[in-house]
Amino acid sequence: MQRRSFLSALASTLALTGLPIAAQNSQGKRIIVVGAGLAGLSASYLLERLGFEVVLLEATQRVGGRVRTLDGIKGRPEGGANVLGPNYGRAIAYAKALGLTLRPPSRSAASGLLIDSTYIPAADWATSAKNRLPSHLKRWMPDQARTLMLPKALVGSSDWLSAQQQQWDYSALRYFQEQGAKPEAIDWFARNNSYGNSLADTSLLNLMRVSESIQTAIAMRQPTLVVADGNSRLPEAIARALISKIVFDAPVQTYRATRTQVTVITSGGVEFSADAALFAIPLTTLRQIEFQPQLPVQMRELMNRTPYHKVLQSHWTLRRDTTGAMPDLVWTNGPLGRLFFSKIDANSVHINAWINGDDVDYWRGLDRRQQRQTLEQALVQIPAASGELSHDVEMDWALEPYQQGVWATWLPGDIKHIPKVSQAQDRAFFAGEHTGVSYSGMEGALESAERAVLQITRALS
Ligand SMILES: Cc1cc2nc3c(=O)[nH]c(=O)nc-3n(C[C@H](O)[C@H](O)[C@H](O)COP(=O)(O)OP(=O)(O)OC[C@H]3O[C@@H](n4cnc5c(N)ncnc54)[C@H](O)[C@@H]3O)c2cc1C
What CATH architecture applies to the domain 2-66+228-293+426-460?
A: 3-Layer(bba) Sandwich (3.50)
Kind plus residue range of the DSSP H or E element containing 359:
helix 359-364
Q: How many angstroms does the Cα of residue 321 sit away from the middle of ligand 1?
A: 36
Q: What is the pLDDT of residue 256?
A: 98
pLDDT of 276 strictly over 50: yes
Q: How many angstroms does the Cα of residue 403 sit away from the middle of ligand 1?
A: 7
Mean pLDDT in the chain? 93
Q: What is the pLDDT of residues 418-429, one digit of tens each?
A: 999 999 999 999
Residue 445 Cβ < 6 Å to ligand 1: yes
* 255-270 average pLDDT score: 97
Residue count of the chain: 461
* 123-143 average pLDDT score: 97
Exposure string for 260-285, b = 16+ CB within 10 A, e = fewer: eebbbbbeeeeebebbbbbbbbbbbb
* 158-172 average pLDDT score: 98
Mutate which of 216, 329, 442 for ligand 1 pocket (most atoms within 8 A of beta carbon): 442
Q: What is the pLDDT of residue 222?
A: 92
Share of the chain above pLDDT 90, in %: 89
Q: What is the pLDDT of residue 125?
A: 97
pLDDT of 398 strictly over 50: yes
Contact 341, 329 (CB under 8 A): yes
Fill in the DSSP letter of residue 203: B
Q: What is the pLDDT of residue 14?
A: 52
pLDDT of 23 strictly over 80: no
Q: Per the omega criterion (within 30 degrees of 0), is the bond before 293 cis?
A: yes
pLDDT of 17 strictly over 50: no
pLDDT of 21 strictly over 80: no
Q: How many angstroms does the Cα of residue 38 sit away from the middle of ligand 1?
A: 7
pLDDT of 27 strictly over 90: no
Q: What is the pLDDT of residue 3?
A: 47
Contact 354, 112 (CB under 8 A): no
Q: How many angstroms does the Cα of residue 37 sit away from the middle of ligand 1?
A: 6
Kind plus residue range of the DSSP H or E element containing 34:
strand 30-34
Indicate which residue's Cα is closest to atom 36 of ligand 1. Answer: 35
Residue 441 Cβ < 6 Å to ligand 1: yes
Query: Which segments within 379-445 are labelled E, that is strand?
Result: 388-396, 428-430
Q: What is the pLDDT of residue 10?
A: 57
d(CA 278, CA 429): 5
Domain boundaries, the chain: 2-66+228-293+426-460, 106-132+310-405, 133-219
Q: How many angstroms does the Cα of residue 35 sit away from the middle of ligand 1?
A: 9
Q: What is the pLDDT of residue 107?
A: 65
Q: What is the pLDDT of residue 432?
A: 98
pLDDT of 134 strictly over 80: yes
* 152-158 average pLDDT score: 95
Of 252-256, 272-276, 278-282, 317-321, minimum mean pLDDT range: 317-321
Ligand 1 atom at minimal distance to the Cα of residue 82 = 8
Q: What is the pLDDT of residues 431-453, one digit of tens each?
A: 999 999 999 999 999 999 999 99
Q: What is the pLDDT of residues 331-382, one digit of tens each?
A: 999 999 999 999 999 999 999 999 999 999 999 999 999 999 999 999 999 9
Assign a CATH topology to domain 106-132+310-405: Polyamine Oxidase; Chain A, domain 2 (3.90.660)
Residue 35 Cβ < 6 Å to ligand 1: yes
Q: What is the pLDDT of residue 25?
A: 67
Q: What is the pLDDT of residue 18?
A: 46
Q: What is the pLDDT of residue 326?
A: 87
Q: How many angstroms does the Cα of residue 430 sit away from the middle of ligand 1?
A: 14
Residue 80 Cβ < 6 Å to ligand 1: yes
* 285-294 average pLDDT score: 98
* 325 confidence band (pLDDT: 50, 70, 90): confident
d(CA 236, CA 12): 25
pLDDT of 12 strictly over 60: no
Q: What are phi and psi of 37, to 5 degrees?
A: -85, -170
d(CA 157, CA 258): 38
